[in-house]
A and B are shown apart, each in its own frame.
Chain A
Amino acid sequence: GDSVTQMEGPVTLSEEAFLTINCTYTATGYPSLFWYVQYPGEGLQLLLKATKADDKGSNKGFEATYRKETTSFHLEKGSVQVSDSAVYFCALLVNTGFQKLVFGTGTRLLVSP
């Protein structure tokens, strides 16, 4: 079935370091891909999305490119801040019938000053 695999955390970085969080997926057809972020004590917020192969989603300095050949959607940021500390979820939208989101298990990012 459709699934998303994320790298396990926590990912611990110093401020201004480069961030990569790996995400790969398995899906039938051509899913849309998303990154959501969850700050402590809050719900999930959409960070960025890509709806077709080679699309690049970007927001708040974060980027991810939809790579169909490697079935990947890795999240990157050139210089992280303490305020980026959160849990990041990769997700795919199953575009059959109801269009439900399938989430990865989440990766916790901890950024220290």
Chain B
Amino acid sequence: EADIYQTPRYLVIGTGKKITLECSQTMGHDKMYWYQQDPGMELHLIHYSYGVNSTEKGDLSSESTVSRIRTEHFPLTLESARPSHTSQYLCASSERTGHVSPLHFGNGTRLTVT
């Protein structure tokens, strides 16, 4: 079973606050991802990383930023939260191999900005 952890599970915060969503994995995976899941369930890739010190923006433009200082850790930060950021955020990881490697997901952080 995959070991990827996200905290907090739920977060309710006021507009303008800075927040960091944590994501850690213990599998030594090189690749990590952040997906945003809207209320209609659709998933959008917002950030990904090949490995330490590598981060890229995904398909959906996002005001969030990410960092990858350690292999196991891939936090997502919003400098100034807004109600439009209300969503579920899912972190995932996968192996860096030449073969097809499925993504392993955390349980997500459900963010509500009031």
Contact = CB atoms under 8 A, between A and B. Distances in A.
15 contacts: A34-B102, A38-B41, A42-B107, A43-B92, A43-B105, A44-B43, A46-B103, A49-B100, A51-B100, A89-B43, A98-B50, A99-B94, A99-B100, A101-B45, A105-B41
Most B-side CB within 10 Å, residue of A41, A99, A103: A99
Contacts of B74: none
Interface of A: 32, 34, 36, 38, 41-46, 49, 51, 87, 89, 93, 95, 98-101, 103, 105-106, 108
B43 to A, nearest CB: 4
Given A105-B41, A106-B42, A108-B41, A43 B100 contact: no
A98 B30 CA distance: 11
Contact of B42 (A99, A100, A103, A108): A103
Contact of B48 (A38, A100, A105): A100
B56 A46 contact: no
Given A98-B56, A101-B103, A42 B42 contact: no
Contacts of A87: 41
Interface in B82-114: 90, 92, 94, 100-108
A3 B81 CA distance: 30
A93 B42 contact: no
A32 B100 contact: yes
Most A-side CB within 10 Å, residue of B43, B50, B104: B43
B106 A43 contact: yes
A43 B41 contact: no
Contacts of B102: 34, 46, 49
B45 A100 contact: yes
B105 A45 contact: yes
A51 B6 CA distance: 29
A36 B42 CA distance: 13
Interface string B52-94: 0000101000000000000000000000000000000010101
